[in-house]
Chain A
Amino acid sequence: MKDKIDLNKFKKSKTHLLILKFFHENQQSVDTPRGVATWTGIDIKEVRKALDELARCKVLIAIEVPSTTGYSYTHDAGLIKKVAALLKKSKI
């Protein structure tokens, strides 16, 4: 059985919301923390932490290699809907 994922904990974090917005708008994207920091304009340290948290919540998929980690968007349609609702509500 799948765990229920609560995205509401991210509703007050601009960093998490901007990252979610980036992946929601660019669903084919696979990017490194540095890349995501460039597209969102957020400091890379904050981005790394937020990416890790979003990957743990399964909203993002992480592919780890020795030199970096590539992040991409979930395939779960239910989760994608939840993200869309969160972004709409947050008006980011």
Chain B
Amino acid sequence: MQKEYQKEIFKKLTENPSLQSERQTFEKLFGKTVWNIIPSEKCDLKIKDLSECEHVLKQKAGKPPCIGDLKNAVSSARKTKSPKIVQCQKGLWAIVIPLVQGDTFYGYILICHIKKKPEQETAFVLQSFALAILREVQKELELSKLYESIRPRAIALSTVHTVHRLISSTLDIDELLPRVARLSLQVMRAQRASIYLLDEKKENLIQKAAIDTRTEKPLKLSKMRIGKGVEGKVAKDGNAVLTNKFLSVPLVHEEIIGVITVADKIENKPFTSLDKEILSTLAEQAVIAIHNAKLYEEQEKVTIGSIKSLAALLDTKSPYTYTHSQAFVRIVLAIAQELHMNDEDLRALHHAALLPDAGKISVPEEILGKPSKLTTEEYRLIKEHPLKGAQILKHIDVLKPTIPIILHHHERFDGKGYPGGLKADQIPLGSRIMAVADAFEAMIYKRPYRKAMSFQSAVNEIKKYSGTQFDPEIVNAFLKLVDSGKIKDILKQESESER
């Protein structure tokens, strides 16, 4: 290895432009000369090392007369570590400059054909220049070696960081697991990747995501018992399995929660122990993301459960007054998805849709159920319910993003609604969506105080009030859902669940 390094240094030294310029300066003073840069392994000077010398070339047979003196000079220069001046041909001189650093002898520079005998001081100056260039070459080589070794590690680290960003950007486990599978496939250069998670009883591994680049068809997700099959054994023992064609590592968060498997590397390359290390790192990141997504899912279940409990409590007092049907919630979410609402806003809208009218608790029941026209005072009390609802929910931190939606869901697009008389974009998007779904639901369901309207008549009414009561953009999204049959499907699901 050391020899290789010295060889590399010598090669770079030979190509070094500073050394070329040193030669040019020297030749300005001493006329044209012959330079040979000879590595240490060639310290026994050979005739071919002097191939640039015209006297040597002219010599047809036998050794050139200078070779003996030059060999002695090389040997002495190496021993003393100092340059040697020697006569090489009649009237011509040579300098042997040893390239020595400490105990390491890199080689020497042999300058022949010098027409005037140089001073020893000149030889020392040449040596110090040559050694300075040698040091420069060494530094350059070290830097390039450092770069070569650090760059792949830095690129790998950057990949780990990017993967972390990509998988920690979602808390939706259904989105997360296929993404982890896709990234495992990419990073491992594999053709197939699968993610398995343990079921609640920790008896089976359930395949949650699977990708195979060789097929465009979605893969059938399987299930296997712990201890059975390769993945089952990985899940049981917690040890990775590595073969040429297959790599499976456990997902461990305090205990084993699942397994990541990749198979069939592209170009038939085998999986290596480095691949195992990389996939294990990816698995560690995936586990944190899966854990966070599960926590979020649980928290979301608790939040929705609490809202539903509150709604159920209010419903026992007066059904249909404080809450809406499941269909209403589904229609609200379908419109929001049609409008590509982001996950955070969608979540707030979902919570708001579960309990938009909690504030009606402050309105006397006889007013809420009054079949005849309301008095001005009664209407004033009704109009206060969004504000009261917002006041009730504001104490629950997780529901804070829902408050503007609840507060303004009785606003009208033309500004004639309540409580703020807000217009168009001043009304939160979620409230504008709820206004359409609320009106539609109110028309199609029968209430104790009025008959239900037909599906088409209700749709026509929504169309009719587009731009006045409702935001035209929301109405368009709603009509698209009507045309695609989605709204009818939602209503069908609702009637089936009521049976």
Contact = CB atoms under 8 A, between A and B. Distances in A.
Contact of A30 (B166, B213, B266): B166
Given A65-B165, A75-B191, 4 more contacts: A66-B342, A67-B169, A70-B162, A75-B266
A75 B162 contact: no
A29 interface: yes
Contacts, number: 66
B166 A65 contact: yes
A15 interface: no
A30 B169 contact: no
B163 A30 contact: yes
Contacts of B163: 30, 70
Given A65-B166, A65-B170, A75-B191, A35 B213 contact: no
Contacts of A52: none
B477 to A, nearest CB: 22
A65 B183 CA distance: 13
B186 A32 contact: no
A90 to B, nearest CB: 21
Interface residues of A, number: 22
Contacts of B278: 28
24 contacts: A26-B155, A27-B189, A28-B187, A30-B159, A30-B163, A30-B166, A30-B187, A32-B162, A35-B158, A35-B161, A39-B158, A63-B179, A63-B182, A63-B183, A65-B165, A68-B162, A70-B162, A70-B165, A70-B166, A75-B185, A75-B186, A75-B191, A75-B266, A77-B267
Contacts of B187: 28, 30, 72
B219 to A, nearest CB: 16
Contacts of B182: 63
Interface of A: 26-32, 35, 38-39, 61, 63, 65-68, 70, 72-73, 75, 77, 80
Contact of B165 (A26, A68, A75, A80): A68
B217 to A, nearest CB: 15
A31 B159 CA distance: 6
Interface residues of B, number: 26
Contacts of A28: 156, 159, 186-189, 278
B339 to A, nearest CB: 17
In the complex, the 3 A-B pairs of residues with the closest C-beta atoms, listed nearest first = A65-B169, A72-B186, A35-B158
Interface of B: 152, 155-156, 158-159, 161-163, 165-166, 169-170, 179, 182-183, 185-189, 191, 213, 266-267, 278, 342
Q: Is the interface of A mostly helix, strand, loop or mixed?
A: mixed
B263 to A, nearest CB: 13
A59 B28 CA distance: 57
Contacts of B159: 28-31
A77 to B, nearest CB: 6
A29 B170 CA distance: 21
Nearest to B165: A68
A26 B266 contact: no
A10 to B, nearest CB: 21
A30 B188 contact: no
Contacts of A72: 186-187
A75 B161 CA distance: 22
A14 B420 CA distance: 58
Nearest to A72: B186
A23 to B, nearest CB: 11
Contacts of A75: 185-186, 189, 191, 213, 266
Contact of A35 (B162, B169, B188): B162
B169 A66 contact: yes
Nearest to B183: A30
B169 A77 contact: no
B162 to A, nearest CB: 5
Nearest to B179: A63
Given A63-B182, A65-B165, A29 B155 contact: yes
